[in-house]
Amino acid sequence: MRDETDGGEARETRGAARWLTPVLAGLALALLVWSGWQAWQRVATERRLDALVAGGEQIFAAIDAYVADRGAPPPPGSSRPGGLNARTLAPLSSEGYLAGASGIIEHLAGQRISAYDVAGERFWMVIRDADDPRLALLIARTDRFPLVPETWIEGLYRIEGSRLVKIEPPPAAPRRAGRKDADGRS
């Protein structure tokens, strides 16, 4: 004797499997696409940050050289004699301290530095990424940055909300020993 309820349950199970399988496959596909998008966004952000840091390192070195020659960084404001132009980075760019300033500026929000101030030999500058202004970098040698007053900061820092995260320079490449001749001379 056969139980007729068994056949009905089997049909219901097959019916549920018929619509549940595509739904689960769609969810899995959506999760895969979303994960790929997130990974792509992280890579794009890292590339933008790398470009911002490279520009920041060039600017820091240029200001450093300018201070070594002139005793102080250029004053803020292009209307002042010798003042720093936020759009061209002159006098750093115009006097040979900073090559390729236009390449740096094109990656910045508004094609300009966001903020800059000087006090004696101390300075700080904020630059933001053109594509993602939340990516902000502080270039500084000061104890007068408004976010952390009376705290000495020097170098490049990523601004994350109200926090500064030091960007460590990459380790120096090992020096290669020169080729030596048979007598041990270079």
Q: Which tens digit of pLDDT belongs to each residue from 96-130?
A: 999 989 899 999 999 999 999 999 999 999 999 99
Q: Which is it for the CA torsion 129, 134, 138, 144, positive or negative?
A: positive
Rg, Å, the chain Cα set: 29
Distance CA 88, CA 86 (A): 6
Q: Which tens digit of pLDDT belongs to each residue from 54-81?
A: 999 999 999 999 999 999 999 998 888 8
Domain ranges of the chain: 49-167
pLDDT of residue 175: 55
Which pLDDT band holds residue 180 (cuts at 50, 70, 90)? very low
Q: Residue 179: is its pLDDT beyond 50?
A: no
Distance CA 150, CA 97 (A): 29
Cβ(135)–Cβ(107) under 8 Å? no
Task: List phi, psi (to 5°) of 179.
Answer: -70, 140
Instruction: Measure the CA dihedral 75/81/82/88, to 10°.
Output: 90
Q: Which tens digit of pLDDT belongs to each residue from 5-44?
A: 555 555 555 666 677 878 788 887 777 777 777 777 777 7
Compute CA 172 distance to the chain's CA centroid, rounded to the nearest angstrom. Answer: 20
Cβ(145)–Cβ(138) under 8 Å? yes
